[in-house]
Amino acid sequence: MEVLYCEHILDHYRYPRNEGVLEDADISHQRDNPLCGDMIRLDIRLKDGVVEEARFSGRGCVLSIAAASMLTEEIVGRSVAELEAYQDEDIFRLLGITLGPVRARCALLPLQVLKEGLSQLAR
């Protein structure tokens, strides 16, 4: 059988980690992917400037769901300053693949949501 995605990507898609919402989130933000109508929402609760808990919800393709699932695992215990330093490459590193410009937009949607959420926190 041909391998479409690495097994760990499919695993995060089929069994997403940290799926849901947080009622007492400090950062709560969502965004659509205009290409396909997908939506990812992130809820993050902070304690002393560090991520205590993170949840995601929404709908999307394998890449956007897997990236969101991985990101919510990745950021727990990180400071806001560390979150702000996240780059596109960090998502590609988590996924373990490189992507063309169109599909990259799917994979980067959760990071975009995180960045926009952080900028609202700053305000």
Partner 1 sequence: MDTGFDPLTIRADFPVLAREVNGRPLVYLDNAASSQKPQVVLEAVAAFYRHHYAAVRRGVYTLSEEATAAYEEARDKVAAFINAPDRRSIVFTRNTTEAINLVAHTWGRANVGPGDRILVTEMEHHSNLLPWMLLCQEVGAELVYLPITDGGRLELPQLERLLDGPVRLVAVTHVSNVLGTVNPVQAIVAQAHAAGALVLVDAAQSVPHMPVDVGVLGCDFMAFSGHKMCGPTGCGVLYGRVELLEHMPPFLVGGGMIERVGFTGVSWASLPEKFEAGTPAIAEAVGLGAAVDYLERVGMEAIHAHEKALTAYAMESLAALPGVRLIGPPAEERSGVIAFTVASIHPHDLAYALDRQGIAIRAGLHCAQPLHERLGLAATARVSFYLYNTREEVERLVSAVWNAQRWLAG
Q: 86 or 92, CB closer to partner 1?
A: 92
Q: 8 or 14, CB closer to partner 1?
A: 14
Q: 10 or 50, CB closer to partner 1?
A: 10
We find the least distance from the C-beta atom of residue 92 to partner 1, in angstroms, to be: 16
Give the side-chain half-sphere CA count within 13 A for 89: 1
Q: Are 28 and 42 in contact (CB under 8 A)?
A: yes
Q: 2 or 24, CB closer to partner 1?
A: 2
Strands 50-59 and 27-33: unpaired
Closest CA to 26 of 122, 121, 123, 110: 121
Residues of this chain that interact with partner 1 (CB under 8 A) are 1-2, 4, 10, 13-14, 34-38, 59-63, 103, 106
We find the least distance from the C-beta atom of residue 91 to partner 1, in angstroms, to be: 16
Q: Are 68 and 58 in contact (CB under 8 A)?
A: yes
Sheet strands (E) in the chain:
27-33, 38-47, 50-59
We find the least distance from the C-beta atom of residue 55 to partner 1, in angstroms, to be: 21
We find the least distance from the C-beta atom of residue 39 to partner 1, in angstroms, to be: 9
